[in-house]
Amino acid sequence: MSDGGLNLDAFGDLIERPSAKLRREAEGRRARIGYPVQALGRLDDLGGWLAAAQGRVPVTAIEAPKAVLFAGDHGVAELGVSARPAGSAVTLVRAALEGSSPAAILARRAGVPLRIVDTSLDCPAGELPEEVTRHRVRRGSGRIDIEDALTREEAEQAFRAGMAVADEEADSGTDLLLLGDISVGGTTPAGVLIAAMCGTDASVVTGRGGIRIDDLAWMRKCAAIRDGLRRGRPILGDQLALLAAVGGADLAAMTGFLLQSAVRRTPVILDGVVSAACALVAQRIAFRSPDWWLAGQASGEPGQAKALDRMAMDPLLDHGVTVGEGSGALLALPLVRAAADLAAELPEVPEPAPAGEDGGADDTDDTAQAAITEAT
């Protein structure tokens, strides 16, 4: 779908799958290591995936990962679909910047830089550092049950912002991206997108959110997703219009980020239901793009499970972490690092030489035969 200067159809041509040839080479090398292939379980699959994504065998260690969190507020939170007050995502951003949020603590312990990109927080931009707000599209978003979250122009601006962030990370040498979101109300538009893409009912994708909501809030959320679906289904074939109508600036930016990361051949670990929803939209735009992503963990959100099943992605972990903010992706990072280290450092075992070709016992036999000949 071409929208002025933004040609979404181009992603289908620009994105290639990771190298199948190198994956086969990695599997061949793995077969020459002195441990049974099954002994390392999922780590073997990850090692092959990394070789294909990095374009080298053996792989190199993960040296420069980066967690990137897109932040925004959603107008639909006014309906009481979230356990947090509408417009309060800035408090979560401040906690992350101060190093006191779960994601910030996990990132610090893992030695991973944490980058926050404000696309649509409902606060004055001056309250946050300029490096956080420089990609802001608007303040807050519309209520997707009755109005568009964004204008089409704002959706394109947000999409391009996500692409720009992906380019900045690729240019800076980031070798693995961990994608998350910081939002209030964000799981509701995520549910709309997943239900629309999967052709299912709102109740199938409506979860309890990062902080578990009660039954009444769940029913309000389910109704909001159902209303959003009525607005989104007629424009399902126009992904930018869909993100504008029932998404939000953060979701549009994450979609652009995922696609451009695949263009730049930079692998990504997804976090929870919001990143899974954006990945599903990105897959609709470029069907090869999911080959560049890993699902970090199963959060227990039904929408995430539906989206990952549609993309045939198997989460690395199943800990039921719903806090968001990239925490699930950060928890999966040590597993991916371990796979890279093992694939890079486990030595190949030389094959034993056939009898008569190693210069061992045959040399002795030749010496003995020479002695016999001389005595004769």
Beta carbons of 137 and 125 less than 8 angstroms apart: no
Give the type of residue at 137. Answer: V
Cα torsion 90, 95, 99, 104: sign = negative
Same domain, 49 and 73: no
Q: In 237-373, which ranges are E strands?
A: 268-270, 293-295
Q: What is the pLDDT of residue 356?
A: 55
* 33 φψ region: left (φ > 0), alpha (ψ -120 to 50), beta (else): beta
Domain count, the chain: 2
User: Which of 325, 345, 357, 374 is the catalytic position?
Assistant: 325
Question: Which string of DSSP letters, residue by residue, matches 130-172?
Answer: HHHHTT---SS---TTTS-SS-HHHHHHHHHHHHHHHHHHHHT
The alpha-helical segments, DSSP class H, found in 172-214 are 187-198, 202-205
Same domain, 134 and 173: yes
* Whole-angstrom distance, CA of residue 230 vs CA of residue 217: 20
pLDDT at 326 over 70: yes
% pLDDT > 70, the chain: 91
Same domain, 239 and 120: yes
Beta carbons of 65 and 176 less than 8 angstroms apart: yes
CATH number of 105's domain: 3.40.50.10210
* Whole-angstrom distance, CA of residue 270 vs CA of residue 316: 10
Q: What is the pLDDT of residue 210?
A: 67
Same domain, 324 and 357: no
Q: What is the pLDDT of residue 367?
A: 43
- R_g of the chain, CA atoms, integer Å: 25
Report the pLDDT averaged over residues 257-270: 98
Beta carbons of 156 and 3 less than 8 angstroms apart: yes
Q: What is the pLDDT of residue 72?
A: 98
DSSP code for 209: T
325 tagged catalytic? yes
Same domain, 144 and 246: yes
Same domain, 47 and 68: no
CB atoms within 10 A of CB 80: 16
Q: What is the pLDDT of residue 99?
A: 97
Same domain, 146 and 269: yes
Same domain, 214 and 327: yes
* Whole-angstrom distance, CA of residue 144 vs CA of residue 73: 12
Cα–Cα distance list, 224 to 75, 187, 376 (Å): 11, 11, 103
Mean residue pLDDT of the chain comes to 91
Same domain, 169 and 265: yes
Range of the domain at 50: 4-57+345-375
Q: What is the pLDDT of residue 212?
A: 77
Same domain, 68 and 150: yes
Task: Tell me the pLDDT tens digit for each residue of 187-222.
Answer: 999 999 999 999 999 999 998 876 678 899 999 999
Q: What is the pLDDT of residue 136?
A: 98
Same domain, 126 and 198: yes
pLDDT at 247 over 90: yes
Task: Tell me the pLDDT tens digit for each residue of 228-241.
Answer: 999 999 999 999 99
* Whole-angstrom distance, CA of residue 338 vs CA of residue 341: 5
Task: Tell me the pLDDT tens digit for each residue of 56-110.
Answer: 999 999 999 999 999 999 999 999 999 899 999 999 999 999 999 999 999 999 9
Same domain, 293 and 366: no
